[in-house]
Structures are given as structure tokens and as C-alpha cells.
Structure 1
């Protein structure tokens, strides 16, 4: 059975009014989120002037909740960040890097979505208790220290990994990603490299969330994706249209079972 935690100082009745819980603890894994939303006014908290302020406030609640489970931000392994506008991406990335410096960094996916009130940032995280194993997965093409995040993390018996066909230093698509089909294959090749570094492969995959920047690319993406994973089995897959990093038209976010991972670095 999961255990649920709510950080001290929060109003349980007010949270219940909006169907909001705290953190769910399942085995070594902790699932929780945060945002700088004043539930009494349903507007952004007054102190959240900049994106960095808003991120700091969001992680303040997350930090307090993690403390109840004996954890800190250093135990966060996966972050999904939702921005209300793509213009906030650069400021968010810098603030995120500072939040987790000097590492090890969690995996972090940032996409554009509609948020409550006038908030610009919402955070969803997975953390692992200190008693659980945790290691990062960063193939040679992914500079975790420069980017302030990891391509993948192994924790709680799972691998959380993300792939895009980008030159991460410039945010530009790699030259080989001429078509959406090419880009999809490169994403999956990079994902395969991350899973191999974690000691596994496509056979260990259990779930995909895939993000495109145009609905017109969906059919080409599907065909290339299915061809690369043939003959299967193909795990559950969600495909949405949104804004993603740099010039990417395709981003693949995956979860896999974690075998022994002798090549990962803690």
C-alpha cells in the first residue's frame, strides 16, 4: 500500500477542496509535485516574481515533503517541468541547474502546457529513498555537467531516460536529422545507447511518452517508431503535440526495467 505525505504548514482542508494530495511513497520511490500557486486566490504567489523565484518556491514545498521521508533534493531522480510559455525555457534551465548543482543531476523534461492560475512553472518529481540504488546514465554525447541535468537515471528498479536528436551545446538538430523519420530513429538510437549503458535494452522498455511539435508529423513519426522497434513487443505509448527543447521536433521520454547496471556512475 502507498503511504501519503503532506508537508507541514499546508492546509489539508484547502488542498482536499481541489483534490490535491501530497506525496505518494511506494517502496523506495516517492512521487510528488509543486508549484507557486496560492490556493486561497488561485493566483501565482506574490513572491514568485521571476521564473527563478517561482522554481525556488515550487521546490521549497517539494523539499519540505521529501524531508518527511528522510530525503533531500539530492534524492530526486526524475523531473517533469511544465512551462506556460516557451519563452521561459532558458531562465528555467539556468535556475534548475543552480537548484541541483553540483550534481548528480536528475533527468529533466520540460514541455509547454496550460497551468492553473497565472503560474508559469509546475514541477512533477520522482525521488528515491537513500536506501534505494541510484545511478546516472549519460552517454558521451550528453554532457550532464554543462546541461545541469542527466539523460537518464536508474532508481527503484527502473530506468528513466529521455532522448532528442539535438546538439545539446547549441540546441540545434544534428545534421543527420533531416526528416522527422530520421529524427525519430536518432532519438531511439540514443535511447538504446542510454539503456545499454544502464545494462539493458529495448526489451526492458515498459512505457513511452512522446512529444512532437506538429500534428502533421504524427504519421511519419509513428511509421519510423514502429519500424525501429519491430518486431516488438511495443510498450504503451502516449504521443502529444507541444513545445520542446531547441530545434527538436521529436522528444522521447521512456521508462524501462532496470537490470544490473555496472556501467552507470553514481
Structure 2
């Protein structure tokens, strides 16, 4: 009622009330309730995910950490509509994973860059815009601008065999961003790279995340990578896959590699390691 009483002269009371009301919180990018995934073979059935409840905020950077077989990659595939859950409910951008996929609101980066060897870096990034009606899904940035965003503006005409592993993954990230997705799923994208390249790309993906505002789910087996990148770390236990703990990362948003030597970071990674030992 205070908003009505303080309305400027001439302004309708109802309009003043609307203007003074706090904005409604944004809907989560991803909502999961009791998600379960089972695989059936001739010999046995395997429960990859037992039960998973999770909300991922829009614009969040969530890292997923856990032992092999805990369902990290399986969960990404459920979000991407590449795999149907055996039970439970999942919403992606307030709709179904299928709708998000068809609208090209989801980008996926795998461990293998999977570039077409006969196409240049620029042509590989252009590919999603050339197939399946992709031209109508063109994002805010052109393929050239995306390659510049990932630090490859001087490698537009390079073929995959002419690029390093890190450069190929940068192309893969740019390609995943071509349709301007709202969610970027990354399944151990830097796992096969050497440590120096991996560190450099960790800094690069944080910069890309800040500049695009995309929601990122990032699977890793590295404790340090999970802590350095994530705003939260989703720790999964195995057999069956389930949430062991969701750990908030209380570190500055503007992170540098030197931060990994601070007492705060060491305490965080020590805690993650202790939890991981129980997974």
C-alpha cells in the first residue's frame, strides 16, 4: 500500500503499485524432480541414475564431479534430449528437453572436438547454421565473431590437422555457440589436453561465460577444475548415480589461476576431495 500512497501526482495508483513491486525471480534454466535412468541389456539392467533432484539457475556455471559410473554424462544427455529418463520430471527453460533441442537452445561440447577434417575452422563453425534450418537460428554473433571470442581470429582458414588440440576444442566451443544457445553442456571438454593448455582454456571458458551469459553445465574428473570454474559443484556418488552433495563455491567471480594457491581454494578442494572419497 505504501507504493500507492507515494505515487507521483497524476500517476494511477495501480500503475504505481506495479512499478514498485519487486521483479519476479527468473525461472530455473533446468528443473529435475526424481529423475532416474536405467539401461537394459540381454544380461542385466543397470541403474545409471537412481534419483536426482536439482535446480540450475539461468546464467549459472555448474560443475559436475564424481567417480566413473555416477551418471554425469548420462545426466547431460537427458538435459540435451539425447536420452529419455526412466522416471521423474525434467523441465528445460520451462518446457521439455525436446522443445529446447528443437529450438536450438542447447549447445553441446564433447571431449572429442569432432570437427569435419575437410572444412576450415570458420566452415566448421558455420555448419550448424547450414543444416536443418539452422539459418533461421543464427545467433547474435557471427561465426567469425565467435572464433574471435574464443581467441582464434587468426585461424579462420586453418583445417583441423593444422590446429593444436586446444585450438580444435576452441572451434568446437564456437560451433556450439553458433545458434546462440541459452544452455551449454560440456562433457569433459578439456580432459584429453595437457595441463598448460587446460589451464589456459579454463580461463577462456570463464571469459566466454561472462561475455555470453549462457548457463553452463560442465562435467569433469578434476577437483581443481571443478572448484575453479563452478559457482556450485554438484557431487555425484555412483552405483547408482545420486547427489552426494552440492557445494557452493564462495570465490570471487573474476578468477585467475593464481587463486588456486590461496588458502580458501585449498580448503575448498580439500573438502571436495574428502566428499569424493565417499562417493
Both proteins in one fold, TM over 0.5: no
TM-score norm. by structure 2 comes to 0.30
TM-score norm. by structure 1 comes to 0.31
**Structure with the higher fraction of residues in strand conformation:** 1
**Structure with the higher fraction of residues in helix conformation:** 2
